Structure 1
Amino acid sequence: MFNILLIEDDTSLFTEIESRLRQWSYDVHGINDFSKVMERFTEIKPDLVLIDIQLPMYDGFHWCRMIRAHSNVPILFLSSRDHPTDMVMSMQLGADDFIQKPFNFDVLIAKIQAVLRRVYNYSSEQTNLKTWNKATIDYEKNSVSNSVGTVELTKNEIYILKALIEHKNRIVSRESLMQSLWNDERFISDNTLTVNVNRLRKRLGEIGLGDRIETKVGQGYIAIEEENR
């Protein structure tokens, strides 16, 4: 049974989401004191976090930053706000998806299942280290290390990197990445993929590998590995 932390201050919506998720055997936990979200997060140790943007005390973006400072747990935003910058901001902060209110509960369940399947099945299958451009990629720790240093990646970032490296020096189409990453491309925007790849490139740039992920306009992305580089 997966633990889900639902950070939502609308009592009726919380109750409805909790009821629907429990029908799928998810263990759902809420927040009583919105000034102590991190204390609750540490107590629950959730496998996934659902979080609204508009909350008492501090907004969802604040708590996403706090969670990401300590954990790579999957985060899905729920929001009635429809401004594109909210989606972009959530992805830049490391969220895995953004769900617009009001939403269809079947879509919500599908998104949750896709993220959990991707994150936890993927993590359990990866036991080996990968070498790429003289850097060591640890799929279990979601990290990339070389002589310059080490960077930690989110689940989405490490998955994108893995997909690109598996086809290194070959173009991987955007459609292929979206379909494999989110399982059903209808549930994700083209812009969200761009944000995730740009964030991955920025993180790799901290250890001198940012230019190893190239954009091929109108085609997709390519992970470059030159021999004896």
Structure 2
Amino acid sequence: MEKIMIVEDDLKIADYLNTYIEKYGYDVLKADDFEKLMDVFRKFQPDLVLLDINLPRFDGFYWCRQIRLESICPVIFISARTGEMDQVMALENGGDDFITKPFHPDVVMAKIRSQLRRAYGEYAAQGNERILQKEGLKLLPERLELRFHDDVVSLTKKEADIIETLMNRHPRVAGREDLLEKLWDDQVYVDENTLNVNITRVRKKFQELGITGAVETVRGAGYRLHVTWNGAEES
């Protein structure tokens, strides 16, 4: 039985979500200590977190970052904030999806099922830990790590997904639609700036490894991976 953790300080909304989600056979926990959420998280070990942004003391962005230090379980933000930058920040801080209030419960359930399938079900990686390699570059998606020779950088889940897509498509171009489908396949609309921001972050991670020009923009098509060091290029 999958476990869902609800982090919502509006008791009516939390109770409503709790009751509705439990009808579908999930084990649900409503967090009520908003200062020690990580203690609750570690004890319950949820498979997915529903997370509000406006919370007492620390906001949802902060708590999502704390979760990402320990887990890659799906995090779905649920918020009354409707601004595009709020959605960008939710994804940038490690979230996997964003639902605006007021919401339809069937939409919430559809997104929960979608994220659980991708993380643990039919769409998830099976068996041993996956390792993708390209000319000294090594991606470990389950660890959220990118390695180049002896250097290592940590990644967010979105960054790992982008790099995985680029490596799988290499040396072909990974289209913008390919990346959007990989990252946000259950969202009707994603702001154009969201992908641009994530690509910029991925480029910085490559730069931390000493790899320059790693992600080439192919105008009108998408992006292509290049690995360059000491003046030599693998493409």
- 1:53 touches 1:79 (CA, 8 Å); kept in 2? yes
The answer to which structure has the higher helix fraction is: 1
Distance in structure 2 (CA, Å) of the matches to 1:48 and 1:81: 21
In structure 1, the partner of 2:197 is: 195
| Structure 2: stretches of 5+ with no match in the other structure | none
Map of 2:23 onto structure 1:
23
Aligned pair partner of 1:136 in 131, 135, 138:
138
User: What corresponds to 1:205 in structure 2?
Assistant: 207
* Residue 39 (structure 1) shift: 0.9
Moved more, 94-103 or 141-150: 141-150
1:97, 1:134 → 2: CA distance? Answer: 32
| Equivalent pair of 1:178/1:185 in contact (CA under 8 Å) | no
Q: Counterparts in 2 of 1:63-102, with a 5 A limit?
A: 63-102=63-102
Contact 2:213 2:227 survives alignment (8 Å): no
Q: Does 1:44 align with 2:37?
A: no
Residues 216 and 196 of structure 1: CA distance in aligned 2, closer, same or farther (over 3 Å) = same
**Preserved CA contact (<8 Å) 2:4 2:49:** yes
TM-score (norm 1): 0.88
Q: Tell me, what secondary structure is at the counterpart of 2:223?
A: strand
Secondary structure (helix, strand or coil) at the match of 2:188 reads helix
d(CA) in 2 for partners of 1:210, 1:91: 25
In 2, the alpha carbon distance for the partners of 1:125 and 1:174 equals 29
Q: TM-score, normalised by structure 2?
A: 0.86
CA RMSD across the alignment: 2.3
Task: Give ranges in structure 1 of 5+ residues lacking alignment.
Answer: none
Match of 2:173 among 167, 171, 174: 171
Structure 1 residue 10: Cα displacement: 0.8
| Partner secondary structure for residue 201 of structure 2 | helix
CA 1:123/1:9 → structure 2, altered by over 3 Å: closer, same or farther? same
The Cα of 1:151 is off from its aligned counterpart by 1.8
Match of 2:113 in 1: 113
Between 1:135-144 and 1:94-103, the stretch displaced more is: 135-144
In structure 2, distance between residues paired with 1:67 and 1:128: 22
Q: For residues 111 and 151 of structure 2, what CA distance do their matches in structure 1 show?
A: 34
State how many pairs are aligned.
229
How far apart are residue 9 of structure 1 and its match? Answer: 0.8
Q: Which one of 196, 208, 214 corresponds to residue 216 of structure 2?
A: 214
1:33-75 CA distance string (max 9 Å, x none): 2111111111111111111111122211221222223332222
Tell me which amino acid in the other structure corresponds to 2:118.
R
**Percent identity of the aligned residues?**
37
Instruction: Tell me which residue corresponds to 1:60.
Output: 60
Higher relative contact order (CA 8 A, sep 6+): 1
